[in-house]
Structure 1
Amino acid sequence: MIFKVEDIDQFKRQALKWASEFAVCGYLDSNNYHNAYSKFDALLAVGVKAEIEASAGHAFEALEAFRQEHHGWMIGFFGYDLKNELEQTQSNNVDGLNFPDLYFFVPQYLIIMKGNDVDIIADNAEAIYQAINQQRSLERQTTLEIKLQSRFSKQEYVDTFNQIKQHIARGDIYVTNFCQEFFAEDTIIDPLSVFMELNSISPTPFASFFKYREHYILCASPERFLAKRGNKLISQPIKGTARRGATSAEDEVIKQDLRINVKEQQENVMIVDLVRNDLTKSAKLGTVKTEELFGIYTFEQVHQMISTVTCEVEEGLSSVTAIRNTFPMGSMTGAPKLSAMQLIERYERTRRGVYSGALGYFSPDNEFDFNVVIRTILYNASNGYLSFQVGSAITFDAVAEQEYAECLLKAQAILQVLGAKIEYTES
């Protein structure tokens, strides 16, 4: 049933508050960043009709069977460590969050928002609409002052960065994405308030709020991992980041500098080549193409260099297999992918889990859309563990201090929301 809503932003806030009372819910918001592949403005899935949770080993196979049984809407996430099912890799680093490697649910209630139209898919749509409208405005959480710890001091980061560069000099890899964790223990937050604040400060086209019982994903991702529209697969890897300027004139200078930055172009084209190679596993012969190379896109916090790679799907190939064939995404691993993932495990100090995985949906028309889980706060309410990770690409020409600064640039919205400061001690 479709309802006309005068204030869609107010409705979103009330709907999220209503949904967050359920044990499981998932919210995806494009924040009005429309593109050729947008299917809706926002989607809210609430309550569990059926669900699947799986660990790396036979997770994709289990999801395939689950998807064949449930052909409608499904919302959920793929954790990065599903790589261990696909390649000869392991995940032995510390994990304070304890998310499953894979989780999807078939919702009891689904709400799709386009413009001022709200489509509530449920037997009792009118009652749900009334219940949402009766929600009081969400009260902002008192100002947070989270004490964050880091897995690396700045000097340890620089030293490790330079060790990884030695592998590049030896030819073991060409590029990799090296990430570091910032975390807090015994922390109490209101996850919905934190997400609303993050989404206000840093609205992005693949924002999401996901509640899986005591686990929360508060995501401000600007990056699409993989989507399917009709018989077409679309991947839009990001490589290349620059700060926002204080004025529109300064912004234009920064954007132009990013556009012609040879190092950023090298990073981007390496990952584009990797994505093209991954897509060939799912594509009709000769259909893989780069629709846009080095596109510059502006967000509230940063400018990004984004490329678009597409292909036509081989007939008879399932959606789950298409995702499996490209997972994990090249922008968060490196090239060659296997060697990069093995070095990531060796040099990083935290199990990535949901971070640098993918969150999104399957729809009844056999389409799907998944983001890259970056610029994201992860929280386990049962043990009070709060975490976010940030990373940047290492290439032969990369400079450790510059990439460290890029990590902090990517984290600035999260740090602002958490009221957090990090003490960077030198080792």
Structure 2
Amino acid sequence: MILSILFAGLGQLYNRRYIKGIAFLIIEIAFLITTLQSINFGLWGLRTLGTIPGTDHSIRLLVFGVLSLIAIVILMTLYIFNVIDAHKQARKIREGWKPLNLKDTIRAAYDQTFPYLMTLPGLLLMIFVVIFPLIFSVLLAFTNYNLYNSPPRHLVDWVGFENFQELVTVPIWQDTFISVFAWTIVWTVVATTLQIMLGMFLAVLVNDPRIRFKKLIRTILILPWAVPAFVTILVFAAMFNDEFGSINRDIIIPLIGGDGIPWMSDPFYARIAIIMIQTWLGFPFIFALFTGVLQSISKEWYEAADVDGGSRFQKFRNITFPHIMFATAPLLIMQYAQNFNNFNIIYLFNEGGPPVRGQNAGGTDILISWVYKLTFDTNNYAMAAVISIIMGLVVSGFAFYQFRQTRSFKEEGEV
């Protein structure tokens, strides 16, 4: 173990595990020759974000710094594993274990490492697709990266929690954040609950034994799911148009007169329209999901309830509803998380409008669409990163708590 602490692989060579020892030696030597200088440069860039305006690019230095941190974690993990492996191997030799020959060693190593080899590509992909962007965005929230501090002409500086303080103290940020966050919660709860309730109602109704032409009805109800969502949203955006939309022109004005309802220009009516559209878009999936679950419920349960004199409401409350929730709770939770970050419908319907006086977000903007505007319209990357962190904490906290209440995180023996 002491030899492995001094230099990776020496302990394995001392224990006569030559293949493993040579592998660790090659890894450490390659690190010292090829990546040590790059990691030092990356850590310097992460600490300073550059020192010469016009020459040092702060964001590139931040990227190199994050990559250096990831490389250090990977190398430290391998180094610790090298030390632990040498210690365990020495203990086994002391207890009388004898090294295997080369052929048996290769076979045993393959058997033990096969699951890790199969998951390694996915792990590497997750590191660079999920972990790296996550760390980068978190660090970006503690900088002053915006339109007026854009490299390479200007350097980006670390500002600590200044962006978080401005979000809750500066009036325009505070008012906008409270308004958008509250609407995001309302939008998520109302729109998702409505699509779940409508899907459940239709699934239970179509599953009734007295209903005929079930296959035809189910096919018709699933059709909205077959049409691409962006096409449906754009069609509805045209239908809800204040001036030439068919809803005002052919339905509202003939019934109540006047100029119709300002679906696009009034935040209240725009929000109602978006909720209705999302209900239309979301109920077919819930309907198909609940229909499959209803088919799996044994008819004997309902027959026993009929014998006991149970009403239809009692059968639904004590048989149908518990079975549906038991089988679909994780998927329903995912529906809430998905709608919390449902960018498509907000942007495609009216780009988050209409404008609201005293705020830098539109009347129907949710957090994700506000982040998009801050990033691409006003180039306020640091504040966008702050809001992204808040979004991630809300969604992950809610999802983790709810999943813990279901069977999703429970082992087989705990159920």
Higher strand share: 1
TM-score, normalisation: structure 2: 0.21
Larger RCO (alpha carbons 8 Å, 6+ apart): 1
TM-score, normalisation: structure 1: 0.20
**Greater CA radius of gyration, 1 or 2?**
2
